Amino acid sequence: MVSVSGVFRPRPTYLHNTNLDLNSVQELPDSHLWPALDAEGSGNLTYVESMPVIDLADPDVVGRMGHASETWGGFHVTGHGVPLGLIDRLESQVCRLFSLSREQKLNAARVPNSFNGYGQVPIAAFFEKSLWSEGCTITDSPVNWASRLWPDDYIEFCDVMEEYKKEMKALCVRIMWLMLASLGITKKDFDWAGPNGDLDGSWTTLQLNWYPPCPDPNRAIGLVAHSDSPILTVLYPSSTSGLQVLRENGTQAHWVTIGPVPGSFVVNVGDLLQILTNGRFRAPLHRAFVNRTHHRLSVPFFIGPPKDALITPLSKLVSADRPQLYRAVTWDEYLGIKRKYFQDALAVVSLRAPMDEPSNVSDHGSLESG
């Protein structure tokens, strides 16, 4: 048996200058200049394809979600019931946060060994060049750091985030069971989803992303190509285009710009759901480009199992014709693998013979040729 460490090399990590105020930069600094970004990566080339739009009231919602999860790895969802007023308040509070000065925002900077608070997305550390974006991560109550930003006026921000997280968790649970129903999976097939299948004890995180206008968007990138690690992501994309998803068709692959659909969220399959479904659902590679004249915000909500839950392909989806593709792994263990191997993480837990070749994602976030 070939050792994983002999085939996949851990990715190096980098420290970045966190003192640069992207909102005031007039010329793209070398620290944010990415080499050889393709036209698609800069948002200049758009393929005429539309990610499926699925209304939760559609009589064929189960079948449509299953097909979209197998062919796209995601879809737009409408008819979700999340109050539009709450979405408006969410966007207002995100704009309020990122309109603060750099010095003010650093009062909420993450402390070592914590994901809570202000800073770049964690995957930025895998790349030598910096991302044209900033973010804020909420894994539990934001009161501790929000009160440092607005000592006398933090309650509204915290209330909106907590209310939104509650709505997102309920929506994620609903969507996950509909998706899995397309494969004949029920709540009885899980031993970690809780007695009512409401994912009590699940891991959840809310990420606030901000992409300021960029003086040279053709040579900068907001978020590098990656797949999401947990079970499911539900993303509020705002009204400005910037999200791209990799579409694969046999040996061909290209990036598709996902335009906004009013009143919808974007749902992405995560790595753990790919493992659970034995590869039937695919966690899509996606990335974000930036804009010369407009800022963009996005708010993904991530949900995963309890940290000690054992994730393995569901027995109903394993057969002689489709043998088990991945070994069992806890969520906590998989997070450690992803932090070490980044986009090779799924290959590291694969039971198929490993190939002595690198990940298909290059350091500039594009798909490598051939």
Contact yes or no for 136/62 (Cβ under 8 A): no
Residue 298, CA atoms < 13 Å, CB-side half-sphere: 29
What is residue 22's predicted lDDT score, i.e. its pLDDT? 87
> Positive or negative, the Cα torsion across 141, 144, 148, 154?
positive
Annotated catalytic residues are: 296
CA 130 to chain centre: 18
Rounded Cα distance between 261 and 263, Å, is: 6
- Residue 147, Ramachandran bin (φ over 0: left; ψ between -120 and 50: alpha; else beta): alpha
18 token code pair: 């966190």
- Phi, then psi, of 24 in degrees rounded to 5: -115, 0
Q: What is the distance between the alpha carbons of residues 129 and 16, in angstroms, rounded to a whole number?
A: 8
The answer to whether residues 284 and 268 touch, using CB atoms and an 8 Å cutoff, is yes
Each residue's pLDDT, cut to its tens digit, for the chain (370 residues) gives: 333 444 455 555 444 556 688 888 889 999 899 886 654 444 444 555 789 999 999 999 999 999 999 999 999 999 999 999 999 999 999 999 999 999 999 999 988 777 899 988 877 778 888 899 999 999 999 999 999 999 999 999 999 999 999 999 999 999 999 999 999 999 999 888 888 899 988 999 999 999 999 999 999 999 999 999 999 999 999 888 899 999 887 678 889 999 889 999 999 999 999 999 999 999 999 999 999 999 999 999 999 999 999 999 999 999 999 999 999 999 999 999 998 899 899 999 999 855 433 344 433 333 222 2
* Phi, psi values for residue 54, rounded to 5°: -125, 125
